[in-house]
């Protein structure tokens, strides 16, 4: 993609009343515009001042001499800037009107209104960061939990790019060797030509596989984990929701059938957002309101990433529990935990594990009333999401971007093909073609190989002014 030659401008702070609003410019005409609209007591023009200094002064319309605002302005000279171009930041008073008028003025003086993410796009095009890093900027702005923020920062600092660079350079080495062999006639090729290369490709694949495994956890961090709390009436579902929230959000009574509608609330556990949905108890009923409630319960199960089936462990399992199990069987959710509630009451009956085994691997005793066992359940929820895939969320790199995960999957498939071609002792030409595909997909993650369309799509996710 060609590097743009025009100058862009945008309001970089949220629109609304605030103490300060910032108008940002980037591009070759930045200082020319600054010289025309900014004035203060210094005699030399703004363009001759030092970079990264804050100047107090005034914004005036040079065509009408109208005074717009008293501001603090910073100029930053290329190439040592965010975009790699000349940049200007005008800190004005934060009213909607003031800041809009300053933007209009810089547009009148020759700047163009920036598209969403265009500043960061320029940073990418000018080689200030690769695409994976640029995408991390958007993730950082959107981060809602500390962990999401940490993952985005790690990616922004080049954590992912660095790993991918090591792999790419290893693959390029192999490719260079293959290309050296291409001109040899077949019979002169050494036996076991590929033996070492197969091993090298396997170890690169392993790194990619590990990263790809972390993507599931990354999705949880980004979008939250949907957990449906289901069970027969009166099992203690609403009590469990309230226990997670540590507040009496849902109505709890001793009358079976209390909850009629689903209630969803979010709770952050170890930095992962969980969205818990309390549901109406599942049972055969002729009450149309309760029937609709049960229908909504079933919808919640289909949407859930994980299901908690709550049972009243103070009583033997009954036909209503069997009905719940039948419903579960129908929707077969991927992860399901059994909650043996009311553990504070006496007479723990032996739960017939066989009945569950197919659907529920783990049974957790707890008391939603006293809170006993809830800590263990929370830990289990987090572990189920991690599933041993990420041993230490603090240190490991976690893949949070769907685009990256897809491309990594493609790269791995290409590497698998390359390995197979090598094992079948195909000619270096053919093996090289497979390997080139892998490098291409890898390069799409960091933006080495990328089309203008895709770039536009990626940056349109950004906010204006970033």
Ligand X SMILES: Nc1nc2c(ncn2[C@@H]2O[C@H](COP(=O)(O)OP(=O)(O)OP(=O)(O)O)[C@@H](O)[C@H]2O)c(=O)[nH]1
**HSE value, Cβ hemisphere, 13 Å, CA-based, for 107:** 13
| Among the residue ranges 38-46, 170-178, 190-198, 259-267, the one whose residues contact Mg ion (CB under 5 A) | 259-267
Contacts of 359 (CB under 8 A, 6+ apart): 325, 328, 329, 332, 336
Q: Which stretch binds ligand X (CB under 6 A): 3-11, 226-234, 387-395, 423-431?
A: 226-234
What is the DSSP code string of 338-379? EEEE-TTSS--PPP-HHHHHTT--EEEE--TTT-TTHHHHHH
Helix pair angle (118-125, 131-142), 10° resolution: 160
Query: How far is 111 from 27, CA to CA, in rounded Å?
Result: 9
Kindly write out the interface string for residues 420-449 of this chain, putting x where it contacts ligand X by CB under 6 A and - elsewhere: ------------------------------
Segment interacting with ligand X, rule: CB under 6 A, options 136-144, 209-217, 246-254, 296-304: 246-254
Is residue 234 near Mg ion by the rule CB under 5 A? Answer: no
Restricted to residues 12-71, the positions that interact with ligand X (CB under 6 A) are none
**Interface with ligand X includes 259 (CB under 6 A)?**
yes
The answer to whether 349 contacts ligand X (rule: CB under 6 A) is no
By CB under 6 A, the residues from 355 to 384 that bind ligand X are 367-369
Q: Contact between 236 and ligand X (CB under 6 A)? A: yes
Compute the C-alpha angle 459/465/466, nearest 5°: 50
- Which of Mg ion, ligand X, none is residue 397 near (CB under 5 to 8 Å by kind)? none
Q: Which of 311, 96, 132, 309 is nearest to 218 (CA)?
A: 132
Q: What is the DSSP code string of 247-304?
A: S--S---SSTT---S-EEEEEEETTEEEEEEE-PPP-----HHHHHHHHHHHHHHHH-
Q: Which member of 121, 128, 222, 342 binds ligand X (CB under 6 A)? A: 342
Does 239 interact with Mg ion (rule: CB under 5 A)?
no
| Residue 236 interacting entry, from Mg ion, ligand X, none, C-beta within 5 to 8 Å by type | ligand X
Tell me whether residue 205 or residue 238 sits nearer to Mg ion (CB atom). Answer: 238
Q: What is the greatest pairwise CA distance in the chain?
A: 89
Question: Given the rule CB under 6 A, which of 155-163, 316-324, 341-349, 382-390 is the region that contacts ligand X?
Answer: 341-349
The CA–CA distances, whole Å, from 109 to 4, 8, 165, 349 equal 18, 11, 42, 80
Shortest distance, CB of residue 334 to Mg ion, whole angstroms?
25
Which of residues 116 and 293 has its CB atom nearest to Mg ion in the complex?
293
Structure tokens at 154: 């790690």
Question: How buried is 179 (Cβ within 10 angstroms: 0-12 exposed, 13-18 middle, 19+ buried)?
Answer: middle
Contact of residue 342 among ligand X, Mg ion, none (CB under 5-8 Å per partner type): ligand X
Does position 257 interact with ligand X (CB under 6 A)? The reply is yes
Residue 234 contact among ligand X, Mg ion, none, beta carbon within 5 to 8 Å by kind: ligand X
* Choices 120-128, 229-237, 325-333, 443-451; region in contact with ligand X by CB under 6 A: 229-237
At its nearest, how many Å lie between Mg ion and the CB of residue 198? 58
Q: Which of 259, 277, 421, 446 binds Mg ion (CB under 5 A)?
A: 259
- Sign of the C-alpha dihedral computed for residues 220, 224, 230 and 235 taken in this order: positive
Per the CB < 8 A criterion, the answer to whether 272 and 225 are in contact is: yes
* # of chain residues touching Mg ion (CB under 5 A): 4
From 311, 287, 282, select the one nearest 297 (Cα to Cα): 282
Binding residue (CB under 6 A) for ligand X from 14, 79, 256, 349: 256
Q: In 126-278, where does DSSP find H-type helix?
A: 131-142, 146-156, 159-182, 195-223, 237-245
**Footprint on this chain of Mg ion (rule: CB under 5 A):** 237-238, 258-259
**Footprint on this chain of ligand X (rule: CB under 6 A):** 231, 233-239, 252-254, 256-259, 281, 341-342, 344-345, 367-369
């Amino acid at each position: 993609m060609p590097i743009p030659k025009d100058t862009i401008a945008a309001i970089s702070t949220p629109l609304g009343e605030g103490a300060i609003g910032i108008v940002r410019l980037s591009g070759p005409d930045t200082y020319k515009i600054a010289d025309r609209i900014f004035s203060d007591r210094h005699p030399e023009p703004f363009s001759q001042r030092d970079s990264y200094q804050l100047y107090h002064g005034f914004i005036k319309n040079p065509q009408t001499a109208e005074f717009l605002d008293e501001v603090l302005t910073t100029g930053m000279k290329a190439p040592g800037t965010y975009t790699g171009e000349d940049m200007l930041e005008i800190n004005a008073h934060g009213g909607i009107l003031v800041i809009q008028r300053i933007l209009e003025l810089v547009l009148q003086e020759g700047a163009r209104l920036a598209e969403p993410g265009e500043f960061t796009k320029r940073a990418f095009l000018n080689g200030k960061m690769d695409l994976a890093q640029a995408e991390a900027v958007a993730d950082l702005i959107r981060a809602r939990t500390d962990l999401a923020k940490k993952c985005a920062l790690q990616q922004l600092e080049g954590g992912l790019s660095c790993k991918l660079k090591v792999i790419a350079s290893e693959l390029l080495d192999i490719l260079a060797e293959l290309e050296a062999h291409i001109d040899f006639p077949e019979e002169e090729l050494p036996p076991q030509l590929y033996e070492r290369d197969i091993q090298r490709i396997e170890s690169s694949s392993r790194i990619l596989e590990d990263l790809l495994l972390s993507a599931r956890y990354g999705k949880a961090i980004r979008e939250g984990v949907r957990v449906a709390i289901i069970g027969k009436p009166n099992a203690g579902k609403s009590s469990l929701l309230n226990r997670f929230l540590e507040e009496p959000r849902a109505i709890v009574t001793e009358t079976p059938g209390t909850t009629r509608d689903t209630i969803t609330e979010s709770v952050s556990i170890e930095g992962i957002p969980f969205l818990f949905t309390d549901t109406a108890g599942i049972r055969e009923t002729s009450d149309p309101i309760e029937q609709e409630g049960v229908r909504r319960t079933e919808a919640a199960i289909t949407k859930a990433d994980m299901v908690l089936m709550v049972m009243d462990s103070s009583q033997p399992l009954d036909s209503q529990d069997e009905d719940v199990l039948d419903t579960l069987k129908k929707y077969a959710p991927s992860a399901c935990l059994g909650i043996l509630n009311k553990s504070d009451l006496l007479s723990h009956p032996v739960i017939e594990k066989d009945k569950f085994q197919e659907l529920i691997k783990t049974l957790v005793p707890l008391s939603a009333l006293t809170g006993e066992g809830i800590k263990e359940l929370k830990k289990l929820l987090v572990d189920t999401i991690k599933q041993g895939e990420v041993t230490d969320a603090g240190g490991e790199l976690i893949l949070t971007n769907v685009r990256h995960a897809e491309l990594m999957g493609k790269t791995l498939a290409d590497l698998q093909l390359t390995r197979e071609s090598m094992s079948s002792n195909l000619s270096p030409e053919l093996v090289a073609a497979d390997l080139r595909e892998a490098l291409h997909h890898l390069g799409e993650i960091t933006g080495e190989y990328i089309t203008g369309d895709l770039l536009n799509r990626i940056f349109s996710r950004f906010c204006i002014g970033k």
